[in-house]
Chain A
Amino acid sequence: MIKARHLRLLLGAPAVVLIFVFMILPITNMVEMSFRVPGTVEPFGDDYTLMHYTRVFGDSFYWGILARSLLTAGSVALLCLIVSYPIAWHLSKASGLKAALLYALIASPLMTGVLVRNFGWMIVTALNGPLNETLIGLGIISQPLRLLFTQGLVIVALVHVFVPFMVLPINNALRNIPDNLVEASVSMGASRYRVFRDIILPLSFPGIQPGLILVYVLAVAAYVTPALLGGQMVTYMPTMIIAELTGTFRWPLGSALAIMLSLSTILVVGLFTMLTWRLMERARA
């Protein structure tokens, strides 16, 4: 006999099938591939080996690139937080038309295609591009700056596009802080700084934590922006993995690198979550 409860479970079936076919299967497939021997005609051979992992984990070249990827993503997340917090603050105080307008402005980086956005950055920051010309015209610099194909530009461009992912959760958390908590602390003698440090900041942490995690994960996995704005000089894990997969056709090696990146990201996020556990627990009113 089929009970109503079973029918309800059936509602989840499409999602389960989707996740299984497009996430579980490919990842299993990739894990398996990372243990295959390199092939000569096909992407990989029939036998199994640990050689890709010994190579990946034994080579400081790969560790260096992993470190750069993780550090870059970390800087993007932190810069994003610094840029987004004041925006989230204003948004949380806005209502009506002003709020709608702010929401639209904040989401604007996401409304531009990824290629258009990055080619835009390339044009703006080129040696003889408008940014350099303006700076020279204003007499601030005499020689054009090499901005394009630098790590700095990659970070700035990623911060730009990920701001919405930081602003929205923080805005949510700030909106949940009742005004009279601020009044209460002021009446007890708190300065603006102490109100921010003691009340606003800890109570907005339930927005800060997911924002940081979200932006970090997105930045670690970003491919198009580092590929276009980082140029050939600056390699990140995603660009290198794609190069292995589509350039040299070493799929097992590429898979091992992808797994190295995934594991280290999971580790970082897990560690961060554990370290901030107490802060979250306290703020979850």
Chain B
Amino acid sequence: MATVDVKNLCKRYDDFVALDGVSIAARSGELVTLLGPSGCGKSTTLRCLAGFLEPDGGEMAVDGQSILATPSNRRGFGVVFQNYALFPHMTVAENIGYGLRLRKCSGSEITTRVHDVMSLVKLTGLEHRMPREISGGQQQRVALARALVLKPKLLLLDEPLANLDARLRDEVRWLIRDLQQQSGITAFYVTHDQSEAMAISDMVAVMKKGRVAQFATPREIYQKPVERYVADFTGEANFLSCRSLEACGEGRMRISVGGAELDVDCVPSLEPGEAAELLLRPESLQLATLGEDVTFRGRIVKSAFLGASQHCEIALADGGVLKLTTAPNAPVRIGDEVGIVVDRSHAWLMPEGTK
């Protein structure tokens, strides 16, 4: 149970700026995900927190106390690595008990605590195996148990699922989330997988070139991204360039797009008259059936039948293209003229940004 405050963290290697003023905060018991492509600084941030790297500037505090001067081995954080980093010369039980041995716990206490945490992560019976003798999913659970057994103030997870196959990934992901919630440990989780981030986080920090592009809840990140980069990274997205006409109250803006005028929610800092982009997630678009309020008209240029759904791309008259997903049972044919219904409450207007 701990609050974490990272303020204006900076780190540079020669002329490469790895962290350019990163600020993130975690309330007690929250799971905060650092999401971004490789090289965005998410792992660097985590390694600074763990104490493996020394930041060039900025502040990191846990429960209000700066940890900058505390060496890694005194921070009392649990770290889980992408490649598990199990000690190959120790058995599963020895791996998990290693931190307790360092703390000079008695033999019986070590046995009990190792046994308890092993049943928590469903590893009972593997005590005397060597790491190389168990599967990848089991290895990652050993790594998790090894961190949790020390009751860390903060749990740091660096792409813990990246080396697992898809089925295991799901299983271990929920295990991590369940354990984190049960124990109420504040956690930082690094990943480049947006669906993973969405599913298990309380808060997500989308990172871009050493900065935090947006720090918010998964819902906000997905539905109300501050810029195109965030929208792009967090899922399928359609962007239509448009002109904002006038503010119409309650953070809404009237815009002109693809021959229609719409009132939509927008990024608060947006000014009327500014060039802007409209974000339409595929799930807020629908092909019109008779009698519906059609927003755009266009022609189907691509379609793909996926079984449970079908994807199609629709070219609008003004050159814009919309991707959307429809129910699988009404066939869509390339070349068909269609109307598109927009769920206006889930359209989102952002300033026109660099891609």
Partner of B50, one of A185, A187, A198: A187
How many Å lie between the Cα of A184 and that of B87 in the bound state?
9
Query: Closest chain A residue to B80 by CB distance?
Result: A184
Which residues of the partner chain B approach A90 to less than 8 Å between Cβ atoms? none
Given contacts A184-B79, A186-B73, A189-B74, are A202 and B89 in contact (CB under 8 A)? yes
As a 0/1 sequence over residues 213 to 250 of chain B, the CB contacts with chain A under 8 angstroms (1 = contact) are: 00000000000000000000000000000000000000
B87/A188 in contact, CB under 8 A: no
Query: Closest chain B residue to A176 by CB distance?
Result: B88
How many Å lie between the Cα of A283 and that of B81 in the bound state?
21
Which residues of the partner chain A approach B50 to less than 8 Å between Cβ atoms? 183, 187
As a 0/1 sequence over residues 196 to 211 of chain A, the CB contacts with chain B under 8 angstroms (1 = contact) are: 0011001100000000
| Contact size range, A | 20 to 34
How many Å lie between the Cα of A188 and that of B146 in the bound state?
9
Query: Closest chain B residue to A285 by CB distance?
Result: B88
Segment of B97-105, B111-119, B172-180 in the binding face = B97-105
Partner of A189, one of B88, B99, B131: B99
In the assembled complex, A107 has its CB within 8 A of some CB on chain B: no
A283/B73 in contact, CB under 8 A: no
Which residues of the partner chain B approach A203 to less than 8 Å between Cβ atoms? 88-89
B89/A180 in contact, CB under 8 A: no
How many Å lie between the Cα of A194 and that of B241 in the bound state?
60
Which residues of the partner chain B approach A188 to less than 8 Å between Cβ atoms? 73, 78, 98-99, 102, 146, 150
How many Å lie between the Cα of A180 and that of B53 in the bound state?
13
As a 0/1 sequence over residues 70 to 111 of chain B, the CB contacts with chain A under 8 angstroms (1 = contact) are: 001111111101010111111000000011001100000000
Given contacts A187-B73, A285-B132, are A178 and B83 in contact (CB under 8 A)? yes
Partner of A185, one of B98, B147, B150: B98
| Contact size range, B | 20 to 34
In the assembled complex, A181 has its CB within 8 A of some CB on chain B: yes
Taking the closest CB of chain B, its distance from the CB of A69, in whole angstroms, is 34
Taking the closest CB of chain B, its distance from the CB of A199, in whole angstroms, is 6
Taking the closest CB of chain A, its distance from the CB of B53, in whole angstroms, is 10
Which residues of the partner chain A approach B86 to less than 8 Å between Cβ atoms? 184
Partner of B89, one of A190, A191, A283: A283
Interface residues of A in 68-113 (CB under 8 A from B): none
By secondary structure, the A interface counts as helix
Which residues of the partner chain A approach B74 to less than 8 Å between Cβ atoms? 189
Which residues of the partner chain B approach A186 to less than 8 Å between Cβ atoms? 51-52, 72-73
In the assembled complex, A282 has its CB within 8 A of some CB on chain B: yes
A191/B79 in contact, CB under 8 A: no
Partner of B76, one of A184, A189, A199: A189
Interface residues of B in 59-79 (CB under 8 A from A): 72-79
How many Å lie between the Cα of A186 and that of B99 in the bound state?
9
Taking the closest CB of chain B, its distance from the CB of A80, in whole angstroms, is 24
Taking the closest CB of chain B, its distance from the CB of A54, in whole angstroms, is 48
> Taking each of B88, B130, B147, which has the highest tally of chain A beta carbons within 10 Å of its own beta carbon?
B88
How many Å lie between the Cα of A283 and that of B131 in the bound state?
11
How many Å lie between the Cα of A189 and that of B102 in the bound state?
7
Query: Closest chain A residue to B152 by CB distance?
Result: A187
Partner of A190, one of B73, B76, B77, B90: B73
Interface residues of A in 184-234 (CB under 8 A from B): 184-191, 194, 198-199, 202-203
Given contacts A184-B81, A188-B99, A194-B102, are A282 and B73 in contact (CB under 8 A)? no
A283/B102 in contact, CB under 8 A: no
How many Å lie between the Cα of A178 and that of B85 in the bound state?
8
B102/A187 in contact, CB under 8 A: no
B79/A181 in contact, CB under 8 A: no
How many Å lie between the Cα of A185 and that of B146 in the bound state?
10
Which residues of the partner chain A approach B83 to less than 8 Å between Cβ atoms? 178, 180
Those 8 A-B pairs whose CB atoms lie nearest each other, nearest first? A285-B88, A188-B99, A187-B79, A184-B85, A282-B89, A180-B85, A189-B102, A186-B72
Partner-B contacts on A (CB < 8 A): 178, 180-181, 183-191, 194, 198-199, 202-203, 282-283, 285
A–B Cβ pairs within 8 angstroms, 28 of them: A178-B83, A180-B81, A181-B87, A183-B52, A184-B81, A184-B85, A184-B86, A184-B87, A184-B146, A185-B98, A186-B73, A187-B52, A187-B72, A187-B77, A187-B78, A187-B79, A187-B147, A188-B73, A188-B99, A188-B146, A189-B74, A189-B150, A190-B73, A191-B73, A194-B102, A282-B130, A283-B88, A285-B88
